[in-house]
Amino acid sequence: MKKIFLSLFYIILAAGFTVTVFLWIILLRENVKADTDVRIYVPTGSSFEDLTDTLRSAGVLRSERNFIITSRLKSYGRSVKPGSFIIEPGMSNNNIVNILRSGRQAAVNVTFNNIRTIEELAGKIGGQIEADSATLSAFLADENNYLADGFDRRTVIAVFIPDTYQLYWSVDAMAFYRRMLKEYRTFWNEDRKVAAKTLDLTPTEVSVLASIVDEEASKADEKPRIAGVYINRLRQGIPLQADPTVKFAVNDFTLRRILNKHLEVDSPYNTYKFRGLPPGPIRCPSRSGLEAVLNAEKHEFLYFVAKHDASGYHHFSRTLAEHNRYAAAYRRELNRRRIYR
């Protein structure tokens, strides 16, 4: 009897050892081929088969079979969470399944700048998060999505301050907008609101003016001075006569020369034809543009025109006669370079 019990003990011990080795091989042994981090993207609605296809295409796993067995042992696969996940070198199947099952995403960097329209914005963002450009365009085209926040289709672009942001890849259009709105409200702290009020401008109006300053200035150090010119004109009731607003009105941002026919376009964005600010920003206003308006240089300039030396800087004038002399020199340079549009 003692021999029987001893034999059973060794059999159980051997079986236990075998199971332990099996579980170690399947669950705990490294199963990542790559020697650097691999980012995978799991779209919303993916099945477990879709996930394994993604891992296979990325060339992540040493043994797909062992990953599948681990997933079954851990009851993973009936519900696959979407997102962007980082698979690190040295990870076991147990590690991989834990990350995927918990939905513990790795944030992605979302960057945008030099955006003039919400369609451009949608196109730029659509390649960086799961929501595509068509979905984002449709969301931004529907004012009902943001009217309660104080914006309409002409002003909502002010919400999107160019920068690099960390977001989860799986955010939908609404979640992306809400995150940008949070950033916008963070920017507009009490100090900046007071600065805007001192200029007799609302935050949205500051954004409109900043967008014009951004378009006018190729040199960042000139932005506060250009902003000062426009504030002087607003206060004196002089039309802004900002060329970038005309380009926006005619929807041609390639224009290098504004002609009389462009100045006649009947659009509220044509600041040669209509006094005051246009009804919305003509691009996503940058932080530097916003700060330039809020900290506009105090001076008596009412005019400015690009220097004819193509330096990117401007001549600033207090009188129309002085301005006209600089403008004539600039037109002569355009003619010399055969720039007629």
Higher pLDDT, 232 or 26: 232
pLDDT of 341 reads 63
| pLDDT at residue 214 greater than cutoff 50 | yes
pLDDT of 275 reads 95
Residue with tokens 């409200």: 185
pLDDT of 118 reads 93
| pLDDT at residue 4 greater than cutoff 60 | no
pLDDT of 10 reads 41
Q: What is the DSSP annotation of 282-317?
A: SS---HHHHHHHHTPPP----EEEE-TTSSS-EEEE
Residue 14 pLDDT level (bands cut at 50, 70, 90) = very low
Dist. CA 227–CA 208, nearest whole Å: 11
Which whole number is the average pLDDT over 257-286?
Answer: 93
Q: How many CB atoms neighbour CB 272 within 10 A?
A: 18
Spell out the domains of the chain, with CATH numbers in brackets. Answer: 22-102 (3.30.1490.480), 108-187 (no CATH), 190-336 (no CATH)
pLDDT of 20 reads 46
Residue 77 pLDDT level (bands cut at 50, 70, 90) = confident
| pLDDT at residue 99 greater than cutoff 70 | yes
Dist. CA 192–CA 278, nearest whole Å: 22
Residue pair 212/245 in contact (Cβ under 8 Å)? The answer is: yes
- pLDDT tens figures, 122-153: 999 998 999 999 999 999 999 999 999 999 99
Dist. CA 307–CA 186, nearest whole Å: 37
| pLDDT at residue 8 greater than cutoff 80 | no
pLDDT of 2 reads 53
Residue pair 121/157 in contact (Cβ under 8 Å)? The answer is: yes
Dist. CA 232–CA 256, nearest whole Å: 26
Q: Which helix (H) or strand (E) holds 41?
A: strand 38-42
Residue pair 225/307 in contact (Cβ under 8 Å)? The answer is: no
pLDDT of 59 reads 92
Percent of the chain at pLDDT exceeding 70 = 91
- pLDDT tens figures, 139-190: 999 999 999 999 999 999 999 999 999 999 999 999 999 999 999 999 999 9
Query: Of 145, 123, 124, which Cα lies nearest the Cα of 134?
Result: 123
Residue 123, classified by CB atoms within 10 Å of its CB into exposed (0-12), middle (13-18) or buried (19+), is middle
C-alpha distance from residue 21 to each of 14, 18, 93, 115, 180 (Å): 10, 5, 15, 57, 50
Q: Which helix (H) or strand (E) holds 178?
A: helix 173-187
